[in-house]
Chains A and B, each alone.
Chain A
């Protein structure tokens, strides 16, 4: 067998592609589902935490800052393992995809809080004072004056962070969530061939290359506002 067909046989074997395509597609559906739920929960929780922090209640702020710092300093896989193996022993049984969703949502919330907070801080004090002096209440000022300006600044870093954290759905394979990587490694061990792994990698490319490109577009689109 020449090198070319050996390469095809190892990474792109047609009959294995046909056999495992449905599994990989199923994995893609699971990955997309968890990713969407993580983005929704993570960003809304992050925004909520940043808004609470803007009230500057010291007793509430300290736990928020600690939570955010801890989430930023810990590897996601460490948290996944603690929650997945630890909670059943204290009587809380969660299915593996719920564990993955919970951990990734909390991580995204932590990073999003930090980014939103930096955005809120970056809006000049005069904007607050001018808005309040026209008779707007605190929450009206926040909602109609500060947030629209803050959010523009937060879009590029938030996009990057969101992409990075949704890619962590691949960690689900370690605890048996049937997402792309899990389907691919299972198929690889049944077929004893690298084709399913290649299919898994391509599935991620199909999902995330458009997101990465969109992220770069958003970054340049919003960049001019920063200076």
Chain B
């Protein structure tokens, strides 16, 4: 029992590692601030492109969505970070993370928006157009707001996944929270810094997870 406490919940080591981990938290939040809006915007573009008139465009979009949903995000990230330099494109860890997760998240958010857009009846668009709104106005003011509201729980739930995903950035040496915690672990030979990072993730995400779980059960029951 003492061994477990010393190895996982060593307060002294946590206190020592805390400044490093909180600096890492800053980077984690910065990555989220870049990656979440990028994914939300990219996903909306993907979903709208998936409804294009041209079957060619629709096919390409569907193909890209499947490809980026099939490749694990870590594989994509390592490909961007370690593979592209061979082709002459050397990106910083931060840019690599943004690019890889933009591709991955756009596919996931895109699928959610697609379900949302499908859930809005065609009559809504037709009614909006008949009042004199242009096609884009009808989309922006009538269809998209309803679509987003219908899939809000899924969007929130995917955003939690995106925040968790940022921990993969540690693999390409971006000094975010997990990277900092793991550095502290290797310096102290003790797992408490990672446990501290886990606690910070819990504090950030647990309230959201509770909220989602409540929304899901309301839908289910």
Hey, which bits of chain A sit against chain B, CB under 8 A?
A: 7, 10-11, 69-70, 72-79, 81-82, 85-86, 89-91, 114, 118-119, 121-122, 153, 163-164, 167-171, 173-174, 180-181, 185, 188, 193-194, 197-198, 200-201, 204-205, 207-209, 211-213
Contact of A82 among B83, B195, B220, B221 (CB under 8 A): B195
A-B contact list, 8 entries, CB within 8 Å: A11-B87, A69-B210, A75-B167, A118-B221, A194-B83, A194-B86, A201-B76, A205-B70
Given known A-B contacts A197-B78, A209-B66, A82 and B191 have beta carbons under 8 A apart: yes
Complex Cα gap A7–B67 (Å): 20
How many A-B Cβ pairs are below 8 Å? 150
Complex Cα gap A119–B67 (Å): 30
Q: How large is the interface on B (under 10, 10 to 19, 20 to 34, 35 or more residues)?
A: 35 or more
Contact of B191 among A77, A86, A185 (CB under 8 A): A86
Q: Given A81-B178, A121-B217, 5 other A-B contacts at CB below 8 A?
A: A10-B86, A78-B201, A82-B198, A194-B82, A201-B75
Note all chain A residues with C-beta closer than 8 A to B75.
Answer: 170, 180-181, 200-201, 204
Complex Cα gap A171–B166 (Å): 13
Min CB–CB distance B153 → chain A (angstroms): 11
In the complex formed, the residue of B with least CB distance to A78 is B198
Assess whether A89 is in contact with B178, with CB atoms less than 8 Å apart. Answer: no
Complex Cα gap A73–B201 (Å): 7
Assess whether B178 is in contact with A122, with CB atoms less than 8 Å apart. Answer: no
Assess whether B67 is in contact with A174, with CB atoms less than 8 Å apart. Answer: no
Complex Cα gap A78–B166 (Å): 11
Given known A-B contacts A69-B206, A73-B209, A85 and B74 have beta carbons under 8 A apart: no
Note all chain B residues with C-beta closer than 8 A to A193.
Answer: 86
Given known A-B contacts A85-B191, A90-B7, A212 and B69 have beta carbons under 8 A apart: yes
Min CB–CB distance A88 → chain B (angstroms): 9
Complex Cα gap A114–B216 (Å): 9
Q: Indicate if B170 sits at the interface (CB-CB under 8 A).
A: yes
Q: Indicate if B99 sits at the interface (CB-CB under 8 A).
A: no
